[in-house]
Chains A and B, each alone.
Chain A
Amino acid sequence: MVMEAFPLAEKYRNPVMILGDGLIGQMMEPVEFPEHLKTEPSNKDDWATSGMDTRKSNQRNLVKTLYLDPAELNAHNLKLKAKYEQMEREEMRFEKYNFGGDYKALIVSYGTMSRVCRTAIDRLKEDGLEVAMLRPQFLFPFPRPAVFDAARKESCQAVFSIEMSMGQMLEDVDRSIAGKRPVYWYGKCGGEVPTPEEVMDEVRKIVK
C-alpha cells in the first residue's frame, strides 16, 4: 500500500495518508517489492517546480494554495471537489470475504481487526452461521455502494462495524446503509485487540 500511495499522490496531486496501528507498526512479515518503484506523472511539466530549464515552454510553475479573491477561491474549491469526486469514481478499494452463500450478517472491518474477524467468520461457518465481511482497503473514498449492496442482500439481518477504535468508521457504515439494516458497533482501544470469540459473541447476540 505504501508503494501505491506515491503514484496516487502524484496522479491527484494530493497527500495520501497511510493508516497503520500499533500492531502493524511492530509486525514483521515478508514483503515483495515490484520491479519498478519509480513512476513519473505524465503531466508533470504543467505543475512541477522542477526548474524552468526542464520545460520546453517558457512557463514558470507555481504551487500555491492562497487565493485572495473569493471568486477565484470558489473556483479552486470546485476544482478540488471535482477531484474528490473523481477519486470516488476511480479509487474505491475493498476486499470481500465469504460472500458466496446466504450470509446472515455482514461485518465491515479493516486492518488488523479484519484478520481477527476472518477467523471469527471461519469458526461461525463451522457452527453453521454464515457471515460475510467487506474489508475497506481505502477508508477514503469509502466503498459506500459496495457496503450498501452487500447489506441489502435478502438474507442479511444486521451489519457490524468492528474496529480497533471507538467507532470512527461507524458513521461511514451507517451512511452507506442509509437505514436499510440495523448497524452495530464493537471495538476496543488502547492496544487491546478483540479476540475472535468476542467477535463471534457480538454477532451471535444479534443474529440467531
Chain B
Amino acid sequence: MGKTFQKPQCLADTITHYCPGCTHGIAHRLVAEVIDELGIRGRTVGIAPVGCAVLMYNYFTFDFQEAAHGRAPAMATGIKRVRPDLMVFTYQGDGDLASIGMGEIVHAANRGEKFTTIFINNAVYGMTGGQMAPTTMPDQRTTTSPFGRKTVNTGMPIKIAEMLATLETPAYITRQTLTRPKYVKKAKKAIKQAFTYQMENRCFSLVELISTCPTNWGMTPLDALTWAEEKMLPYFPLGVFKTPEGD
C-alpha cells in the first residue's frame, strides 16, 4: 500500500507552541497543504503577525518575514509590488487585523493588492491573555470585560468579511470555520481558491476562519468548538461575500 497521509512539505518537522485544541494548528496545516498542492513553495513568502502565530515561521519551511503588530498588509504590499511573481500571504489574528491593523487591511483591500490574507477570528487577543477584541461576542467574558462585553460602550463585534466586501474593488472575501471536518474541507477549498486568484493575478483575497481559543475562553477544546458554532456562527455567518468580477 502506498502512503495515504503525510506531513506537508511546507510544514517543519517540529512541535508547535500552540495550546492543546487550538485551531491555529489546523489553519497552518491547511495553508501548508494548499501551497504544496499548488507547487508554489519555492516562490511563497509568508508574513507572520503579532499574536499567538508570531512564531509561525518556525513551523513553515519557506521564506517568511515578521511584521509589526497589524502591519502585515503593508509589508505584503511592499513585497508583492516589488516582486509580483512571488506568492505572498499574511496570517493575522483578530487583535492584529481588526484592531491595531484595521487601517492597513482596509486600505490594502481597497487598493486591490494582490496578496492573500488568512484571518483567524477567535474573538479574543490570545497571546496576551484573552483580552477583548473587536470581534468579541456581546456579553462574552474576557479578561478586559470580566462582566461580559457591554455593547453599549464597546459597540458590536466587527464583521470584517462583510465590511471588506462592501468595497468596490474586486476581491475574493469569504468566511469559513474549522469546527468540524466538513467545514475544514470547505475552508481548505476557500484557501486554495484565494491562492489561485493570486496566482492568476486577479485580486486581493481574504479567508476569515472562525477559530477557537480554548485556553482564554476557559473551555475544553470540545466545548470551545461547540461554543464557536452556537455563539459565533449565527452572528458571523459562513459564506462567500465577494468574488472578482466574472465569477
| A interface residues, Cβ below 8 angstroms from B | 49-53, 60-66
Contact = CB atoms under 8 A, between A and B. Distances in A.
B86 A62 contact: no
What secondary structure prevails in chain B residues at the interface with A? Answer: mixed
Nearest to B12: A60
Interface string B6-50: 000000000000000000000000000000000001111100100
Given A50-B63, A52-B41, A64-B57, 16 more contacts: A49-B64, A50-B86, A51-B62, A51-B83, A52-B43, A52-B62, A53-B42, A60-B61, A60-B63, A62-B57, A62-B65, A63-B64, A63-B65, A64-B48, A64-B65, A66-B55
B174 to A, nearest CB: 26
A61 B48 CA distance: 13
Interface of B: 41-45, 48, 54-55, 57, 61-66, 79, 83, 85-86
Contact of B86 (A51, A61, A63, A64): A51
A208 to B, nearest CB: 54
A62 B55 CA distance: 11
Given A62-B57, A66-B54, A51 B64 contact: no
A6 to B, nearest CB: 12
A52 B46 CA distance: 12
B90 to A, nearest CB: 13
Contacts of A62: 57, 63-66
Most buried by B among A51, A63, A64: A51
A63 B62 CA distance: 12
Most buried by B among A49, A50, A66: A49
| For the complex of A and B, 7 pairs with smallest distance between CB atoms | A53-B42, A49-B63, A64-B66, A51-B43, A63-B65, A52-B42, A49-B45
A62 B56 CA distance: 11
A65 B45 contact: no
Most buried by A among B41, B42, B45, B63: B63
A49 B79 contact: yes
A61 B54 contact: no
A66 B45 CA distance: 18
Contacts of B64: 49, 60-64
B52 to A, nearest CB: 13
B14 to A, nearest CB: 14
A49 B63 CA distance: 5
A40 to B, nearest CB: 12
16 contacts: A49-B79, A50-B63, A50-B83, A51-B44, A51-B63, A51-B83, A60-B62, A60-B64, A62-B57, A62-B64, A62-B66, A63-B66, A64-B48, A64-B64, A65-B66, A66-B54
Contacts of A49: 45, 63-65, 79
A155 to B, nearest CB: 51
Contacts of A50: 63, 83, 86
Nearest to B62: A60
A61 B61 CA distance: 9
A62 B54 CA distance: 13
Nearest to A49: B63
B237 to A, nearest CB: 35
Nearest to B46: A49
A66 B215 CA distance: 23
A45 to B, nearest CB: 12
Given A60-B61, A62-B57, A66-B54, A51 B66 contact: no
Nearest to A52: B42
Contacts of A64: 48, 57, 64-66
A184 B66 CA distance: 45
A63 B79 CA distance: 12
Contacts of B61: 60
B67 to A, nearest CB: 10
Contacts of B83: 50-51
A63 B83 CA distance: 16
A61 B66 CA distance: 11
A140 to B, nearest CB: 22
A168 B54 CA distance: 37
A60 B41 CA distance: 10
Contacts of B54: 66
Contacts of A51: 42-45, 62-63, 83, 85-86
